[in-house]
Chains A and B, each alone.
Chain A
Amino acid sequence: MATKLIALLRKGWQTLGAIKTGVVLLITVVIVSAAGTLILQRPMTDPDEMSRAYSPQVLRLLDAVGLTNVFHAWWFVALLVLVSASIVAASVERFPNAWRYFSRPYRSTDESFRKALPGHKRIPIKDEESGLVAAERALHSLGFRPERVIGADRVALFAERNRVSEMAVYIVHASLLLIFLGGIVDGVWGWRGYISLERGQQVTQVPLKDGGTKALPFAIRCEGAGQENYKDGSPKRWWSKLAVMEGGREVQRKEIVVNDPLVYEGVRFYQSGYGSTGKVEQLLLTASSRENKGQLHDIALTMNTPVELDADTTVRLARFIPDYFVRDGEVYNRSERVENPAVQMFVESKKTGKSIEVWLPEIEGFAHNAESPYTFEAKDLQLGSFTGLQVSYEPGQWAVWAGCLLMGLGLATAFYLVHIRFWVVPVRDTHGQLMLWFGGTANKNREAFQHKFDAFAEKLEQELAKQSEVGSDACAQAHATTLAGD
């Protein structure tokens, strides 16, 4: 029973690691995500538009299959997990072999290997040592560092470059898994929300995108926000001055702009919007007294704060309506845009306790402007503004960026680093003549390697020719000149 189960698991593992499974999974991901871009998706599109685009039956079908929220459906996540598992299985299956290859490079030059290697040549030499020295010099000049491999009966040379290229595939796959890991961490522990703050306002709760709220262990406060425009009126820059408050103390302060967030304890605050609150911050008026003609006051009103006009009279701003209209004896507000604004004020007398309702503009039936001892003229209306902030917590993003970097390195290694190896060994041919056998391989870009191999052969011949000029009996001397030459 147990052995059966193990066999089954083993089979499952092998299937998971097979290239066919990987390709089938990837094709599925491609088809599903393409469908996700062609079909309108739930969270982004509002329900009205969905019902306009599809008939009710179709919509019900799409909803039932989950195609209206592909990228957040459990089965899509499961599919991505399967892809990761497939990459893991494929890598684990193939890794030991590659690792053996990587950690113990094949240095020996036995006869069967020499026969099997496709790229090799032989050059006659006088004695073993001079041949090896010439080969060493030739390899050095090509930028290699040859090492002497001392075998049972002969000394050989081995030189290689960019061995890491053999592991490139695993680096790329590992980086992909790292990116997925970061994505999963963010999917599970991360959150995103949106807050809008007015100047002076501070919050500790963030309403989240997918419903619910998140309590922050600190408070965020807005100390000002603004917008700068280009000459043509399109927005150039939005900014907000933010302060982080912890235990009533300010611990961090930053002016953020789009593309430059504030980060505190891993929580990021991004500038994302700016607008008017539709509330009055300040109303500037000129008040002139009816009794003393020409006596003018410039006053600034804020909501519900009485301002003294003379010893007896005060004025108080009671209501601001951005877009008013009158119906059935009531004043209503139509929208939050400042299209047709009106303000209601009360002019109060301390002595008599009388309160007179004043409207600007004078709305008939409500305003008693004529009874007021002062007339008012509006100068300027300053509205409060809010700043919109995206708030996100993504503890996994570092894994994502590390994965991206690693993938860049991995791909560069995979495509542009070539593992080149050379073997050199003195052998005797069938006639007993001493020959220098040399061979080499590259794991990619064989044509370019052929040039390198030919360059090596040419260099080797030059070195050997130089040696014979110096004299056959002065091997040690030749070696000395080599060193001097270097």
Chain B
Amino acid sequence: MARAKAEQQPATTGMTLVVLVGLGILFLLFMAFLNVVKSGNLLTESNLLYSALIFYAGAGALYLGFGVTATESYVKFASLATWAGLLANTAAIGHRWYAAGHPPFASIYEMLLSFVWTLAALTLIAEKKFGVKVIGTVTMPVAIVGVVLMQLLPSDVHPLVPALQSTWLHVHVTLAMLAYAACALSFALAMMFLIKDNMKTETFLAATSLFSVISYAAILCTRFEKWGGLSVIGWDEPNKSEMFVSRGIRLFVVIPDLGWLLLLVLLAAAAPLVLYAYGQQTKDQSILPTANRAVFVSILMQVMALIAFLLRTRSGAYPSLDAQGLFPTSLKASPFILSALVGSIFVSLLYLLLLWRREDLEKLLPSAQDLDRITYKTICLAFPLLTLMIAAGAYWANRTWGSYWNWDPKETWAAITWLVYAGYLHMRVTRGWRGRRAAYFAILGFGVVMFTFFGVTYLLPGLHAYA
């Protein structure tokens, strides 16, 4: 039904979207300008970051518009917006570097700043050099999520503790950001390859639903409390920091009933997956439209969960299991739950794009063979960077703690990432793995990268406490 409706709409031609996005950007910039006039500071870092966000968002919208309507001129404006965003992003990095007196690699906020920058730069390179024009459809949403996360993460310039005052640290983190951005690009390319390689749309249905299910399951496994609450970290607004019970142990507060809601959304997100699995089992294709409808329901539920989460964390005080009394929380205390919720919605929306506009999308992509080759090339770029990143990190650790390898979780997971990509290269070179299997491998590799980057920091304890 939805599909039919979408197909009835004539493909938008002309400049409607460009004008709309342009107006949107102007409006937001104007609002920001009013703010600037009020505060009197023009070139502050948050202003720069905000304009970067606006431009990236505009670029993302235009790339999506390009993906949907195949209007060639959009992509020109999209890369123009990306350039503008990159410029603002560069200025933000420069400003921070100047303000902090050291390159911006000391906290996860600063690393995100560099990561987004590299991602935008690589997107432009992939577009100009390799002609993968729609790559921004995947990478720009990632960049937007990155900038939104940055708005939430604590951004104060902290002086460097003694262990971090080393050039090797900067080398290590620069290499990490470059490597991770290259991995992100290879992931996007592998996805494009799968689309171009005539992978069935319903397989994407299964994959995207699985992603949502995993996101929600991960949140619920770690945060679901008895009687349906969701525990989040308490936020100490006057000090702008997380609350602690004692040194190093965070104070969790329980938002009542939100756990049930998320559980409900988990079920809704699982529904398309279950329907798909049932269809595969019974070889019954007629169930797919129902599954697609279930995706709709799942997206609606996810948006609802997001809104509920936003509203409930922004106001109100909640009890804690560890301490007496009521405590406030804030979005800032749960950036990763938020990005899981937003990321899951994004992924589901990308599935809808694929469902409705697959043919147009395919027309715009280079051949499957080319995409496969470019994916391999990006990994050829990422792998030496990963290697050098690990080596520089080991050298730094040796200068700081007197030991180059401690088997702490971050190190171990960096090694696992390295091994996964080494596996990819071996299978490709000695076994001639091409196409699908190589693409799956590249996707798996990026999954491991994301876990190393975020998962390890927030789930596993270790020496990398500040990163």
Taking a contact as CB atoms under 8 Å apart, the answer to whether A407 and B391 are in contact is: yes
With A30-B416, A37-B412: A391-B162 Cβ-Cβ less than 8 Å: no
Taking a contact as CB atoms under 8 Å apart, the answer to whether B394 and A408 are in contact is: no
Taking a contact as CB atoms under 8 Å apart, the answer to whether A237 and B399 are in contact is: no
With A259-B166, A411-B387, A415-B380: A270-B401 Cβ-Cβ less than 8 Å: yes
Choose from A23, A37, A272, A407 the contact partner of B401 (Cβ within 8 Å).
A272
Judge whether B430 is part of the interface by a CB distance below 8 angstroms: yes
Q: Mark A246-287, 1 if CB is under 8 A from B, else 0.
A: 000000000001111100000010111000000000000000
Taking a contact as CB atoms under 8 Å apart, the answer to whether A192 and B412 are in contact is: no
Taking a contact as CB atoms under 8 Å apart, the answer to whether A30 and B402 are in contact is: no
Choose from B159, B391, B422 the contact partner of A26 (Cβ within 8 Å).
B422
CB proximity to B under 8 Å, residues A76-129: none
Report the Cα distance A97→B320, complex, angstroms. 68
Report the Cα distance A234→B163, complex, angstroms. 13
Choose from B161, B162, B399, B430 the contact partner of A261 (Cβ within 8 Å).
B399
- Chain A: which residue is nearest B413 at the CB level? A37
Stretch at the interface among A353-361, A396-404, A419-427: A396-404
Taking a contact as CB atoms under 8 Å apart, the answer to whether B162 and A37 are in contact is: no
Judge whether A485 is part of the interface by a CB distance below 8 angstroms: no
Contacts of A22 in B (CB 8 A): 426
Contacts of A203 in B (CB 8 A): none
Taking a contact as CB atoms under 8 Å apart, the answer to whether A19 and B407 are in contact is: no
Q: Mark B399-435, 1 if CB is under 8 A from A, else 0.
A: 1111111010100110110011011001100110000
Report the Cα distance A261→B162, complex, angstroms. 13
Judge whether B131 is part of the interface by a CB distance below 8 angstroms: no
Judge whether A412 is part of the interface by a CB distance below 8 angstroms: yes
Judge whether A471 is part of the interface by a CB distance below 8 angstroms: no
Report the Cα distance A26→B423, complex, angstroms. 8
Taking a contact as CB atoms under 8 Å apart, the answer to whether A412 and B166 are in contact is: no
Report the Cα distance A148→B266, complex, angstroms. 72
Taking a contact as CB atoms under 8 Å apart, the answer to whether B405 and A270 are in contact is: no
Taking chain B's interface residues, is the majority helix, strand, or loop, or is none over half, making it mixed?
helix
Choose from A19, A34, A392, A408 the contact partner of B416 (Cβ within 8 Å).
A34
Please tell me the number of chain B residues within 8 Å of chain A, measured between CB atoms. 41
* Distance (whole angstroms) from the CB of B450 to the closest CB of chain A: 15
Judge whether B316 is part of the interface by a CB distance below 8 angstroms: no
Judge whether A289 is part of the interface by a CB distance below 8 angstroms: no
- Chain B: which residue is nearest A403 at the CB level? B391
Contacts of A394 in B (CB 8 A): 398, 402-404
Judge whether B456 is part of the interface by a CB distance below 8 angstroms: yes
Taking a contact as CB atoms under 8 Å apart, the answer to whether B161 and A235 are in contact is: yes
Find the residue from B162, B409, B427 having the highest chain A CB count within 10 A: B162
Judge whether B384 is part of the interface by a CB distance below 8 angstroms: yes
Report the Cα distance A258→B380, complex, angstroms. 36
* Distance (whole angstroms) from the CB of B446 to the closest CB of chain A: 16
Taking a contact as CB atoms under 8 Å apart, the answer to whether B400 and A408 are in contact is: no
Taking a contact as CB atoms under 8 Å apart, the answer to whether A401 and B395 are in contact is: yes
Judge whether A38 is part of the interface by a CB distance below 8 angstroms: yes
Judge whether B11 is part of the interface by a CB distance below 8 angstroms: no
Report the Cα distance A408→B422, complex, angstroms. 14
Taking a contact as CB atoms under 8 Å apart, the answer to whether B158 and A259 are in contact is: no
Taking a contact as CB atoms under 8 Å apart, the answer to whether A259 and B400 are in contact is: yes
Taking a contact as CB atoms under 8 Å apart, the answer to whether A259 and B163 are in contact is: yes
With A235-B162, A261-B402: A26-B419 Cβ-Cβ less than 8 Å: yes
Taking a contact as CB atoms under 8 Å apart, the answer to whether B384 and A238 are in contact is: no
With A232-B159, A235-B161, A391-B402: A71-B407 Cβ-Cβ less than 8 Å: yes
- Apart from A23-B423, A33-B416, A37-B413, what are 11 other A-B pairs with CB-CB below 8 Å? A23-B427, A33-B412, A34-B412, A36-B412, A236-B159, A236-B162, A257-B162, A259-B400, A260-B399, A408-B387, A408-B391
User: Can you give 22 A-B contacts (C-beta < 8 A)?
Assistant: A19-B426, A19-B430, A26-B423, A29-B419, A33-B407, A34-B412, A34-B416, A37-B409, A183-B405, A230-B159, A234-B158, A235-B162, A257-B162, A261-B399, A392-B402, A394-B404, A408-B388, A408-B391, A411-B384, A415-B381, A415-B384, A447-B373
In the A-B complex, the 3 residue pairs with the smallest Cβ-Cβ separation, listed nearest first, are A258-B162, A404-B391, A392-B402
Measuring CB to CB, which residues of chain A are less than 8 angstroms from any residue of chain B?
19, 22-23, 26-27, 29-30, 33-34, 36-38, 41, 70-71, 183, 192, 230, 232, 234-238, 257-261, 268, 270-272, 390-392, 394, 397, 400-401, 404, 407-408, 411-412, 415, 447
